[in-house]
Structure 1
Amino acid sequence: MTADYRVIFAEFLTGSIWGELPVSDLSYSLVANGSGPASVKVPLWAFDWSALAPWRVLVYIQRGEQILWGGPLVAYSVDLENEEATLNCLGLWAYYRRRLITYDAVFAQRDQGAIVKSLVQDFGDGTGQYPWNTGPRALQWDGSAVTGVLRDRAYRRYERKALGQAVEDLAGVQGGFDFGITFGWSGSRVMNVFRFGPAAGVPTDLALEHGANCDIPNYSVDGTNMVTEAVTTGGGEADDQLAAWWYNLPAELRAPRLSAVQSRQDVTTVDVLTGYSQQMISEGSTPVTIPGVRLYPDAYPGPGDLAVGQLVRVRARFGGRLVLDGAYKITEIAVKLTDAGEECTLSLVPGEVFASVGSAASP
């Protein structure tokens, strides 16, 4: 494996670095608003078997001076014939998806970033106002938690709502946000920093051009999920059930109506339901052109030069004609490293799916 990579072994509860693992193969994925997996192969002699316990260990993947990925060990398999173990890990956010909101948490006109910070500290990380609520105390926060968007939210104890789902729902509504956990050294410890970003993506000057700094072996145009009428249903039963509609009427001048409905039974306000309907229309406003992008090894940009949530320009020419040219948001960076070298592929979505489209109307 290339010397540019290191795999670091740490204790989850204390953050103490236990050492560095010799690795033969590795793969990892960075995902916007999620917990991408990682897998590493380790020789059996390389670790203390008593420490190899799921959820006790954090694994960090460092490339050059950057720690690009981190998260808990959740499973492993042992190959006695080849004298190696495969460690299967999930991004650090996976832990917070396993926690519940176990006490009433009510917010009135609070910044959505402040709501997330309060929920995660109180019910996930063990650093909030409830000392009895244990957690790994693993997260740091920066100034990006101030998003400028105010929300009303109520999470009731009896609902036992999953913490991760609450945060992801907040992120996914119209006017929401991207979030992720980044990593960096502070002395001899690794810091895990929760960061927010705009849902529409972070503008950059980066351009990915087929044949110049990447390969775009294919792209697809998919209208399967196009929507012109979006309905979101909420709490209540029968005729008393809450619902919100959003329409893209200009699109219906060019094509027949396309309807979609989603259920949000835990939502009890029409404004919140409307936000979900708006987002459905935005995401379904146009056929989605999705290119497959594979970065060139040992070239710029590489995995350490890109981040999920960034907006990049993507271009491809065929026969001298520009067949693909647009702004795309990076939603996943997937890296695989073997003896043959490093392969990095990107998952992208068009930037326009995050624009505000359409209008409210009565059914």
Structure 2
Amino acid sequence: MAARHPAQLMAGIHALDALIGQAAEQPEHTYTFLFCDLLTDAVLAELPLQDVSYGYELNGIGAMRAFVPLNNETFPLDPINATTGGRTAVYVDRDGSILWGGIVWTRDPAKGGMQIQAAEFLSYYQHRYITQTLSTLLENVTANPALVPDGRRLYSDQKSLLWSLFRWSSIAAGGGIRIDINPLAGTGHGVSRVATYFGYERQELFALMKQLASADDGFDFGIEVGWNPVVNNVPPSRFRKAVSWYPRRGRAAADSGLVFSKGGPAANIVAYNWPEDYTAVADQVWAVGDGDGEARLIAGAADLDMLAAGWPLLESVQRYEGVTELATLQGHANADVNARSVADVAPWFDVLADGDPALGGYSVGDEATFTISDDPRFPDGLEAQLRIVSMDVNASKRPEIVRLTCVGV
């Protein structure tokens, strides 16, 4: 490797000094952790947690991990009953704003306490299944043709269809976990879908929601949490809102103005990695829907440009239970081949939570400009516009660090 010019070395040293200076100036934040009953949202306890991290995923389920000390300070708070898995909600409040909410699912004994792990509220729908046939087609629900929730017929607009799945899940005893679905009501996305979910197939609700969102011309979705406004001296309460974004969540790089840099005077990237995975690349995708034997519904899509450019034939098969319409299945195939025609490049960047931009100024779905300089892998530097698809906040580390995982735009 060629020797580095002294000017390059000095620039790197100055950038490092600036980053260290930023880290030293990071403010302290006040975190509060509320544990509540999942069904009623009644507060069970406010517990002091240690080694806390929490995260978000675009159209996915972010996790929270923490250590609960068991000692004379926490015993009066009844931490065992306040952290029971599967029926307890937990909220992460940072400086008076709820940034994360989810459900406790696991506890593991550890020296001096226990480790807990929670997942965002969408994880509840990984534990719910379609037990009655639901369909947008009237002929499939003739026994009860009324629209959900009175009947089994689903609204056809994809946004309304998502509302229908949430609404149907809340009908059963114990099935309502206080998710406000009003943001999904009203004007739809203008994209109609044909879908039938047969009760005998016992399909997972979250998987169906994700499948719906990932179709060609789909959408992004999630559950937002926060504090309701305090009025008339009523004790503060929290909200859980199901929301969708069409055609996508977040801002384009030109609109967000977000810039994260490694090297240079405005450096705010502490560490990064840029892995590449070609194992899922495909230039021919087969989408398989419902049906038996030779009558099974199949749609295909190919990336002819890749084949013409000299790529070998690389195939992938994706299965979509409950899809009975060829047009819907073709939409899935088109979306899949577009997603798989490039390598899985998901670089991550550790950035200062209180740098510029600061935590709260960006979210999953946003695009940002990432610049890398003074790195042997990119001798001429690198500037790329990437979309943030997951965020993980290390709340216990000083300075506070946010890991951003991204994909190409």
What does residue 268 of structure 2 align with?
213
Corresponding position: 1:344 with 2:396: no
For 1:274-298, what per-residue CA distance to the aligned partner results, in whole angstroms no more than 9, with x for missing partners?
A: 1121112111223344322111242
What does residue 8 of structure 1 align with?
34
C-alpha distance in structure 2 between counterparts of 1:112 and 1:29, whole Å: 27
Query: Does the CA-based 8 Å contact 2:194-2:325 persist in structure 1?
Result: no
Query: Does the CA-based 8 Å contact 2:196-2:322 persist in structure 1?
Result: no
What does residue 3 of structure 2 align with?
none
What does residue 70 of structure 1 align with?
101
Query: Does the CA-based 8 Å contact 1:12-1:136 persist in structure 2?
Result: no
Corresponding position: 1:114 with 2:160: yes
Q: Which moved more, 1:315-324 or 1:88-97?
A: 315-324
Residues 157-176 of structure 1 aligned to structure 2 (within 5 Å): 157-176=199-218
2:191 to 144, 149, 173: 149
Q: Given the two structures, how large is their TM-score scaled by the length of structure 2?
A: 0.77
* RMSD across aligned positions (CA): 2.4
SS at match of 1:121: helix
Displacement of 1:104: 2.5
C-alpha distance in structure 1 between counterparts of 2:202 and 2:276, whole Å: 40
Query: Does the CA-based 8 Å contact 1:197-1:309 persist in structure 2?
Result: no
Percent identity, aligned pairs only? 26
C-alpha distance in structure 1 between counterparts of 2:400 and 2:122, whole Å: 25
Q: Name the aligned partner's letter for residue 134 of structure 1.
A: G
Corresponding position: 1:315 with 2:344: no
Query: Does the CA-based 8 Å contact 1:303-1:333 persist in structure 2?
Result: no
CA distance 1:156–1:30, shift in 2 (3 Å): same
Corresponding position: 1:96 with 2:148: no
Q: Name the aligned partner's letter for residue 262 of structure 2.
A: H
CA distance 1:118–1:221, shift in 2 (3 Å): same
Corresponding position: 1:329 with 2:358: no
C-alpha distance in structure 1 between counterparts of 2:307 and 2:130, whole Å: 42
Corresponding position: 1:231 with 2:277: no
CA distance 1:147–1:313, shift in 2 (3 Å): farther
Displacement of 1:239: 2.5
For 1:12-66, what per-residue CA distance to the aligned partner results, in whole angstroms no more than 9, with x for missing partners?
A: 1111223421122201121122222211222224231334321222111112232
Corresponding position: 1:37 with 2:37: no
What does residue 192 of structure 1 align with?
240
What does residue 179 of structure 2 align with?
139
CA distance 1:289–1:43, shift in 2 (3 Å): closer
Q: Name the aligned partner's letter for residue 155 of structure 1.
A: Y
C-alpha distance in structure 1 between counterparts of 2:120 and 2:249, whole Å: 21
C-alpha distance in structure 1 between counterparts of 2:276 and 2:104, whole Å: 37
